Structure 1
Amino acid sequence: MNIHIIGAGAIGKALAVSLKRKGCEVQLVRGNMDDGSTRYEEIILALEGERKLSENIKVSTLSAIPKMEGIVLLTNKSFGNQELAKRLWHKTQKTPIILLQNGLGVERPFIESGFDQLYRCVLFATAQTLSGNQVRYRPVSASPIGTVREKTPLLRTLVAEVDSPLFRFSEVENIEPIVWKKTMANCVFNSICPLLEVDNGIFHRNSEVFALAREVIAECIVISQAMGIDLDAKDIEEQVLAISQRSDGQFISTLQDIQNHKETEIETLNLEIHRMAQELGMETQVKNTKLLGELIKSKSKLNQ
């Protein structure tokens, strides 16, 4: 089956190599430029233990592909989804789309546009661009995929198609609680690490920084419960520590975005939690989450 990966960042490249090694027909699509070009590029994955793998991957831009058939995976930054939904409508109306993006509400533009086969994935893997097309990749656990909208039952088939020994995926019946749980972890990593300019391992190395993470988690739990999503703060704290230990030395994507003078996804993380709190009349209960989000937004703008 043909697999189109939109978003040629670190995760997109890691996925492309993993699927190519499995034997899939893979095309990596750059979402931030569109010059109509198509070429092959060698992409190198740096794994644990100094192990490296490389594959020649077909890399294109959107205008070079008149129609996308097979499966479309979105690893682009979620702030581009509104425009992307419009551009993909005539290319992928009946093609299954899986969103591998952080945050809450990232699927909204595709729902509003009327896409039939829409799925959401929560990534439990980290990747960091080292130089050019060389990416450091660290899997944490299998990334679950669930249904957002499904006209034809395809979830199990899709999971089997995108799952590979290097990049594992699993099928789940209800993805929403997992989305919230991961969003809370991202509210921690994607705000605190970039502001301190430190790697993901800081939370298992430093108790004071972890205490701040626990405050953010506690605030997010209040909002999730008000939205009918019942989660345990202790579980999320343990998840943050597990990710921190597993990705020690790795820098979060938001810090990489700021350093590369790019826009961040903080609007779908801390600031989306704050937006929901405002709608619920609970704004005062997410002060730390909001402040950290606003600081990231300001730091990003100052570096652009």
Structure 2
Amino acid sequence: MSSFKKIAVFGAGAVGSFYGSILKKAGHDVTLVARGEHLRKINELQGLYIKSYKLGDFFVDIDAKSELEDGYDIIIISTKSKDTAFACSSVKKYLKEDGYVVSMQNGVDNYKIIAESFGKDSTVVCSVYVGLTVEPYGTVVHSAAGKLVVGGLTDKSKTKAKEFSNLFKHTGIECSEVDNIEEVAWKKLLWNVAFNPLSALLETTCGRLTKNEDSLHLMKMMINECVEAARTDGIYLDEKYKESVPFMIDGLEDYKTSMLQDIEKLRNPEVDGILLPVINRLEGKAYYCDSIYRALSFKYGKKFIYPPKLTVDVIVVNSKKQVLLIERKNKPYGWAIPGGFVDYGETVEQAAVRELLEETSIGISEKELKLLGIYSDPKRDPRGHTVSIVYYAYSDSKPLAADDAKSAKFFELSSLPDNVVFDHIKILNDLKILIK
């Protein structure tokens, strides 16, 4: 077989775009099949930006289309589970006679659908262990891991899996082939079952799920059900591995799972491909997985109700025209204007007074608040989209840091600290213009 390959990636979101770009950079002829704004931006840029914690930042000149138009040696399918059958029908006539298809997807049923369409000898299974986001469109951010594990379902497809693994040599991406790829796929599903659905339902990161007793209990119960489901396929996962799954978050403590990323971009999360393999195999006895599945279906199944979070900030100005900032205890670390989230049932004015008192011990009345402006850039907060109503008030009271604040201090507007977080420099500049 020739070392040079003509490769198509069908369903090029974060995963497909990243690994497709790696293969293009390694010298292969790669075409991405993408859609929407991501496709438009790649075509506008005439390529794709990669920002990788491991490989550095670089630009890849790569083709992107809405559908295939040529024959390919390898077709990588990296769609959501619900689109697997459509992907197979869309790419079938473009696979060369001696070519093969790689399933680079979550779940344990997708590669079976592909094998039914292309045959087991032409199906390679690839489990992906990586932290990726598309942010903004046309750019893939690689924040954690990156390892690939591949395998085949027959002796012939195992040979093809070895060839596919070799394509990643000298790329900086670890790719290894195994004989027991179906067991590997179930192990990967354990992690997805544990983290993806709950992170989507609770709108939180991997690290917070593991650290909270209640969510950790739910994760363990769902993992137990996944282990039982694997046994119905003849896959027996050992106890030690099962117990380690909730703590497999090295480098992913602040990571938002792919399901949560989809929700934040107003796309339906991949609920079916992750939870239904467990629910269907246990036939009414997957109590935890089924409950979470139904909750997710109710919340996100038909219509998204996912508005930005509402916050308030209060700039305290003293008689010297200095402004009060707090040093944050939590990520993102740095200096910030005192403030926080508006609680359900309280007005924004009440929230502003409460947050200021909790973080600085400075008490003011609602009547003392003056509106500076409303700040709503979706990228203003790295933790997610927030809209902040920003007030200012005058006080010479001495601050005492508490709650989320490590310290509190007045600063000259002309001499602010270097590490001011969020969009608070912009806000303070707006205040500077106002009080002049």
* TM-score of the superposed pair, with normalisation by structure 1: 0.86
Q: Supply the distance in 1 between the matched residues of 2:188 and 2:66 (Cα, whole angstroms).
A: 30
Q: Does the CA-based 8 Å contact 2:9-2:33 persist in structure 1?
A: yes
Q: Supply the distance in 1 between the matched residues of 2:271 and 2:153 (Cα, whole angstroms).
A: 22
C-alpha offsets along residues 44-83 of structure 1, whole Å, 9 cap, x if unaligned? 2222289422222211122xx3333221111121211112
Which of 271, 274, 291 aligns to 2:276? It is 271
Q: Supply the distance in 2 between the matched residues of 1:170 and 1:119 (Cα, whole angstroms).
A: 13
Task: Letter of the 2:49 partner, please give it.
Answer: I
Once the two structures are TM-superposed, the CA of residue 194 in structure 1 deviates from its matched residue by 0.7
SS in structure 2 of the partner of residue 231 of structure 1: coil
SS in structure 1 of the partner of residue 108 of structure 2: coil
Greater shift after overlay, 85-94 or 248-257?
85-94
Which of 210, 215, 227 aligns to 2:216? It is 210
Q: Supply the distance in 2 between the matched residues of 1:206 and 1:31 (Cα, whole angstroms).
A: 37
Once the two structures are TM-superposed, the CA of residue 227 in structure 1 deviates from its matched residue by 3.0
C-alpha offsets along residues 92-131 of structure 1, whole Å, 9 cap, x if unaligned? 1632111010012112332222444101111111211221
Q: Does the CA-based 8 Å contact 2:205-2:253 persist in structure 1?
A: yes
Structure 2 unmatched runs, 5+: 306-436
Is residue 29 of structure 2 the alignment partner of residue 29 of structure 1? no
Once the two structures are TM-superposed, the CA of residue 21 in structure 1 deviates from its matched residue by 2.4
SS in structure 2 of the partner of residue 83 of structure 1: helix
Is residue 118 of structure 2 the alignment partner of residue 142 of structure 1? no
Greater shift after overlay, 226-235 or 47-56?
47-56
Structure 1 unmatched runs, 5+: none
Q: Supply the distance in 1 between the matched residues of 2:246 and 2:70 (Cα, whole angstroms).
A: 40
Q: Does the CA-based 8 Å contact 2:199-2:209 persist in structure 1?
A: no
Once the two structures are TM-superposed, the CA of residue 240 in structure 1 deviates from its matched residue by 3.6
SS in structure 2 of the partner of residue 135 of structure 1: strand
Map of 1:84 onto structure 2: 87
Identity between Structure 1 and Structure 2 (%): 21
Q: Does the CA-based 8 Å contact 1:5-1:27 persist in structure 2?
A: yes
Once the two structures are TM-superposed, the CA of residue 141 in structure 1 deviates from its matched residue by 5.6
Map of 1:295 onto structure 2: 295
Map of 2:233 onto structure 1: 227
SS in structure 2 of the partner of residue 66 of structure 1: coil
- Change beyond 3 A, Cα 1:31–1:237: farther
* TM-score of the superposed pair, with normalisation by structure 2: 0.62
- Change beyond 3 A, Cα 1:138–1:227: same
Q: Supply the distance in 2 between the matched residues of 1:183 and 1:32 (Cα, whole angstroms).
A: 28
Q: Which has the higher contact order (CA 8 A, sep 6+)?
A: 1
Task: Letter of the 2:124 partner, please give it.
Answer: Y
Once the two structures are TM-superposed, the CA of residue 248 in structure 1 deviates from its matched residue by 2.1
Once the two structures are TM-superposed, the CA of residue 272 in structure 1 deviates from its matched residue by 2.0
Task: Letter of the 1:303 partner, please give it.
Answer: F
Which of 153, 158, 164 aligns to 1:158? It is 164
Once the two structures are TM-superposed, the CA of residue 151 in structure 1 deviates from its matched residue by 4.6
SS in structure 2 of the partner of residue 154 of structure 1: helix
Q: Which has the higher strand share?
A: 2
Q: Which has the higher helix share?
A: 1
- Change beyond 3 A, Cα 1:135–1:174: same
Q: Supply the distance in 2 between the matched residues of 1:238 and 1:294 (Cα, whole angstroms).
A: 27
